[in-house]
Amino acid sequence: MNSPVPALEVRGLTVEFPSRRATLTALSDVSLTIQPGEILGVVGESGAGKSMTGMAVLGLLEPPGRIAAGEIRIAGTRTDTLDEKAMAKVRGRIVGAVFQDPLTSLNPLFTVGQQLIETIRLHSRLDARDARDRAVALLKQVGIPGAGERIDHYPHQFSGGMRQRVVIALALAGNPSLIIADEPTTALDVSIQAQITALLRQLCHEHGAGIMLVTHDMGVIAETADRVAVMYAGRVIEIGPVEEVVRHPRHPYTRGLMGAIPSLGARVAHLAQIDGAMPRLNRIPQGCAFNPRCPLAGPRCRRDRPSLVADGASAAACWLLEGGVA
């Protein structure tokens, strides 16, 4: 029996930004796989490379950014070699996107119905009437009450949470195999965040699409994702099943992230923190990029950069795993 084609397969992805003085490496040797119906959470501090990975998959890198090495395959189709015209056909049809601010994804001059119908007709052979019926069905599916009437409303007539539901409907309009959700709940209050994450999980299972969920919130990852990839300074430094990574983090950085989350019912005077800050692209240290902030760093950590090493169901890039000595 043949195994299903992955919704996303990224192998050795390196993204560079050439400048007059030097070439900055924003992503280095990033490898990820997402199966159909699976949610992979991608987590890390600002500047870790989470959103950059999503933009590279979508073919939306800002010039002079470029893919310098590696491969990207969406539903079996290699996309990193496509030109912009060919990639425009891929976006929406094979891969959809949900961004942080729904207002950047919706045109304020057109009703949500006009935007949905246009997207549906662009990626299918439906006529205007059938496309409208499908648009109403999508709005119902994402939980828009009174979808038959609301389809003729403009984006400003929806609340923030309802606008994000409309954006999710747009992302699903072309029946994509993969959805990139980049901080989809950051601009929403906590109760609406929970609704949106539950909706993403439900739709992932119903449509069989893989989802890359980019966020800085470990709580959202724990509630929503099946697996999690932790990024630091443009590299994946730990990856594995969510429960395994949350309960038994292997990398010191992941342990620091988990330690910064307060426990329910626990009374503590201060929350734990990771000292220091993410290095700039032109100041990434030799060896493990986390070594200046790591309480366990040894001479090898400052000299050599570790690769991901399997440890049970997870894998982490840490010298302590390889030989127990840093």
Nearest to 34 by CA among 213, 282, 231, 260: 213
CA–CA separation, 316 and 88 (whole Å): 35
pTM of the model: 0.93
Domain 8-94+176-261+271-321 = CATH 3.30.930.10: no
CA 163 to chain centre: 20
- What is the reported pLDDT for 288? 97
Please, which residues bridge with residue 10 across strands? 32, 72
Radius of gyration for the chain, computed over Cα atoms and rounded to the nearest angstrom = 21
Angle of helix 160-172 relative to helix 190-207, nearest 10 degrees?
10
- What is the reported pLDDT for 14? 98
Q: Which long-range contacts (CB under 8 A, 24 or more apart) does 244-252 make?
A: 244/312, 244/313, 244/314, 245/314, 246/218, 246/222, 248/314, 250/311, 250/314, 250/315, 250/316, 250/318, 250/321, 251/290, 251/316, 251/317, 251/318, 252/290, 252/294, 252/295, 252/296, 252/318, 252/320
Domain ranges for the chain, please list them. 8-94+176-261+271-321
Tokens 């697996």, residue?
Answer: 227
- What is the reported pLDDT for 289? 97
Tokens 């990033």, residue?
Answer: 30
Q: Which long-range contacts (CB under 8 A, 24 or more apart) does 14-18 make?
A: 14/67, 14/68, 14/69, 14/70, 15/52, 15/56, 15/61, 15/65, 15/66, 15/67, 15/68, 15/234, 16/65, 16/66, 16/68, 17/64, 17/65, 17/66, 17/281, 18/64, 18/66
Helix, strand or coil for residue 170? helix
Low pLDDT (below 70) residues in the chain: 1-2, 263-266, 268, 323-326
The percent of the chain in helix, strand and coil, each rounded to the nearest 5, is 35, 25, 40
- What is the reported pLDDT for 70? 98
- What is the reported pLDDT for 192? 87
